[in-house]
Amino acid sequence: MKFDTQKESKVEQIGDIKNNNISIDMANVDFIVSILSTNLYSQPVKSLVRETVSNAWDSHVEAGVDDPVVLTLGKDTEGAYYFSIEDFGVGLSEERFNEIYRNIGSSTKRDSNTLIGGFGIGRFSVLAYSDVTYLTSHYDGVMYKYVMYKDEGSISIDLLHSEPTEERNGFKVYVPVQWSDISVFKRAITQQLAYFENLYIQDFTEGTNSTFFSNDFNNIAIKRYKSFSVCSDEAIPRLTLGKVTYPIRFESLNHRFSHEEQRLPIALNFEIGDLKVTPNREEILYTKENIEAIEFKMQEAIQEIEDLILAQDNDFDDLQEYIKACENSKFILLDTPNKIINIHVPGLSKAFTYKGEKYDIQKIKSYMGHSLSKQTMSVYKLKHGKFYSHQTISMFEIISGSNEVYFADISNLTSLEKVYLKDHCFHGAIFVKPNLAYWEELTKTSMKLFRTNTRVDYSWKEAKLVLTDRVFPAWKKIKKFSPGGIPSSWIKERKAKQLAARALTSRKTFSKEEFTIHLLRYSYHGTSVTTESTTVTAEKMAQSKGIYIYAPKDNELLRGLFRLLFHDRSKNINKSLFLIEMAPTRVKKLKDIPNCIKIDKFMSVKYKPLRRIATAFHLEKEYPELDELYSISNLDLVSTHLRDVVIKLHKYKILHLSKVESKLKEEIYQLCKDKNYFDEEIVSLARTNQDLMKKALFIKNIAPNDYYSSSKIPLNCVNLVVDYVLARKLFRPNLDAWKKLKKETILNLKPIENED
């Protein structure tokens, strides 16, 4: 930073006056050094962080190095915590160290505003926090190690040793840190260093949430405009002097900015030397010149934001997006995947247009929410397999898409057509008459309601917009079902089922002889499976609508199946399914009853739930990597396809295995395996992607566990993973991830984003 110290004296001496300049008594040097180096800083940690990083950044500028400065808050091999800053700039020769670094007030930065420093005291700020610090300099093949420490009222810097090295030039400051100050350092780093783009934080200490902190800091996004900058980690107005940030003291300014202006999430851009600061650089000096410069820059930033708002493309093609934008009145200053920085702009909706036209949002909402909701109609609704008529709903509910809607006149459909709709439509489906004249009449009626009931002045412009862009397009999307629209294949399949049912009911007359069956149920305490005995006849069981699965007494397979099918004891499920046991000598009495199925026949590969269980168990046995990959919650940053496959297979496995006992799983699996009868879609999906999942397993070693036992790929490692995948040709990563890698580096280092 430039300092104007060579000003011409304007004092004119008249007469015989002796000139006595102020000097420093060498006996007081230690006291003065102590004040300027350690007692000068009211916020030691913030000053330490700011000054050491600024010096490292200056070294990179001086050397023309683009590499990042590396900051570490870690723990050494002996368990002691430390803070270090390492740069790869010019380094310090022994001569420069002795002539400049050791002497307080000496600086090589007073002739240029490209360098932050200049006071010549910032390097001693570490002693305001710690009594000792260690310095390492690499310069032209030699490494110098120093220790700087306070000794009562004096400061000493001792050369510990020097040795040859192959390391590149650079300088490192190492400061011991108290465990209790870790959180203080993290706050200081966030507040002081957010606008240093070429700063990289290594993994922090374990057990302090620090890994997440370093990832967040390394992925801070900065967008620079002409007069201000926006940072994804900042939400209050500040100013940046070079890279260093300072709060804006609005109360010290002459101009009174509005409350909204004082809350803008921006940092005013000032070059080094534009403003004067206190010697400890903790504050901006609010001199007359500084106040005028800050006020001018603030007004310039406000004007620039207004110009940006007017210059943006405010025309929307989607009506819902248009309404949302007008209601929010937000202007986005910075848009990142993790955070959006925007500002509320009163009256911004006036600049928005929909397909080139401006509309009154209140009138649109009034028409949609009031008039269309007032206009009701009678429809049929499908509930629990039955059609209920005279269900009254509004036009707004019809077009909102909250229910499945069909054009179908239920009253004129045949029984077969109704059965088809019941089989193919969801619960809650709505059926309205496909009568165009009827809908036109509803539209006219709704228009009348709009004229008479709304409190907003009637406007055909807004009403027509809603009709043409919301109502009519919604009508066009309504599915139509007309008589004769049933596929012949469905009719053929249904007839076959009916014939089979008739064949069962035309069987011989069943015996009326009574015998005892043992119905499986849970004990009263709900902890074990027991039986309840009852007396029935073969005739009574044949006439029952239920299905009976039977086995000889104490059959473990039957009991395991019972626990599987009736695992949810809080609900009365499977009302028509009964599992029964019988004495071995009585089993033959159920042989000819059509709705009684022996356990061996029931355990058939044709029974879909069993095939699904077997398929899920197949995934568990053959694809152990599923659980490992599923635990990585942000796998989609590398490959969306891989993440989708893993989620689908893992959820399928959990869904069908969570309530199945081990022995029953093995029985079902072996049954399906012998006949190679699985859920082919799932097995094919797993088989096709098996090689992909195995190749992606290495990601688990990079994704550490968080406190909820799941894993995440650190954001600063995403580019590294993508680079490795591409280099080894393991699989194809996301296109966005590939573009991100090309734009940045494997260390996620981003170029400064400028906007002219």
CB-based contacts of 539-545 (< 8 A; 24+ apart in sequence): 539/509, 539/510, 539/511, 539/512, 541/510, 541/590, 541/593, 541/595, 541/596, 542/507, 542/510, 542/593, 542/594, 542/595, 544/595, 545/576
The band of 440, judged by pLDDT with boundaries at 50, 70 and 90, is: low
Taking the C-alpha atoms of residue 182 and residue 206, their distance in angstroms, rounded to an integer, is 11
d(CA 95, CA 374): 88
DSSP secondary structure, 440-494, as one string: HHHHHHHHHHHHHH-SSPP-HHHHHHHIIIIIHHHHHHSEE--TT-S-HHHHHHH
Per-residue pLDDT band for 135 (boundaries 50, 70, 90) equals: very high
Phi-psi label, residue 177: left if phi above 0, alpha if psi -120 to 50, beta otherwise: beta
* CA 326/CA 345 separation, integer angstroms: 10
For residue 215, what pLDDT is reported? 80
**H-helix segments, 143-251:** 182-193, 210-218
The number of residues making up the chain comes to: 756
pLDDT at 115 over 50: no
Mean pLDDT value across residues 458-470: 72
26-219 — its CATH code? 3.30.565.10
Amino acid letter, 580: I
On the CB side of 724, how many CA atoms lie within 13 Å of its CA?
13
Q: Identify any residues that bridge with 697 across adjacent strands, giving them in sequence order.
A: none
pLDDT exceeds 90 at position 269: yes
Q: What is the CA radius of gyration of the chain?
A: 39
Could you tell me if 333 and 293 are in contact, meaning their C-beta atoms sit under 8 angstroms apart? Answer: no
HSE at residue 375, side-chain half, CA atoms within 13 A, is 25
Q: Which of 18 and 464 is assigned the larger pLDDT?
A: 464
Once rounded to an integer, what is the mean pLDDT over residues 187-205?
Answer: 82
Q: Looking at residue 357, what is its pLDDT? A: 83
Asked whether the predicted pLDDT for residue 640 surpasses 70, the reply is yes
Q: What does the alpha-carbon distance between residue 406 and residue 426 come to, in Å, rounded to a whole number?
A: 11
Instruction: Name the more confident of 589 and 121.
Output: 589
pLDDT reported for residue 376: 74
Is residue 209's pLDDT more than 50? no
Rounded distance between C-alpha atoms, residue 676 and residue 684, angstroms: 13
DSSP 509: P
Band (pLDDT 50/70/90 cuts) for residue 165 is very high
Residues 19-68 have pLDDT tens digits of 555 444 444 445 555 555 556 678 889 989 988 998 898 889 888 888 88
Region 64-92: mean pLDDT is 89
Over residues 394-418, the pLDDT tens digits come to 777 777 766 788 888 888 888 888 8
CA gap 683, 64 in Å, rounded: 57
Most confident of 234-238, 295-299, 455-459, 752-756: 295-299
- Reported confidence tier of residue 598, pLDDT bands at 50, 70, 90: confident
Task: Give the DSSP letter of residue 284.
Answer: B
What pLDDT sits at residue 118? 42
Q: Write out pLDDT tens, residues 366-395.
A: 777 666 776 677 888 888 788 888 778 777
* pLDDT for the residue numbered 16: 56
Average pLDDT of the chain is 79
Q: Per-residue pLDDT tens for 55-68?
A: 898 889 888 888 88
Measure the CA–CA gap between 458 and 367, rounded to whole angstroms: 9
Sequence spans of domains, the chain: 26-219, 228-324, 362-480, 507-602, 609-753
Give the pLDDT confidence of 685-712 residue by residue, as tens digits. Answer: 999 899 999 999 888 888 776 544 568 8
Handedness of CA 222, 188, 284, 110 (dihedral sign): negative
What are 419-438's pLDDT values in tens digits? 888 888 887 888 887 766 66
Q: How many CB atoms lie within 10 A of CB 229?
A: 27
The pLDDT of residue 482: 76
Q: What pLDDT was estimated at residue 32?
A: 52
Closest CA to 717 of 706, 709, 725: 725
Which whole-number Å values give the CA distances from 725 to 38, 486, 637, 705, 730, in the listed order?
A: 50, 51, 13, 22, 5
- Judge whether 85 and 101 are in contact, CB under 8 Å: no
**550-591 per-position pLDDT tens digit:** 888 888 778 877 877 776 544 444 467 788 998 888 888 888
pLDDT of residue 172: 94
CA distance 59 to 198: 12
Measured on CA atoms in the order 448, 449, 453, 454, is the torsion positive or negative?
A: negative
pLDDT at position 586: 84
Instruction: Look at residue 198 and tell me whether its pLDDT is greater than 70.
Output: yes
For 192, 251, 298, the CA distances from 294, given in Å and listed in that order, are 19, 12, 6
pLDDT given for residue 184 in this prediction: 92
CA–CA distance, 223 with 229 (Å, rounded to integer): 6
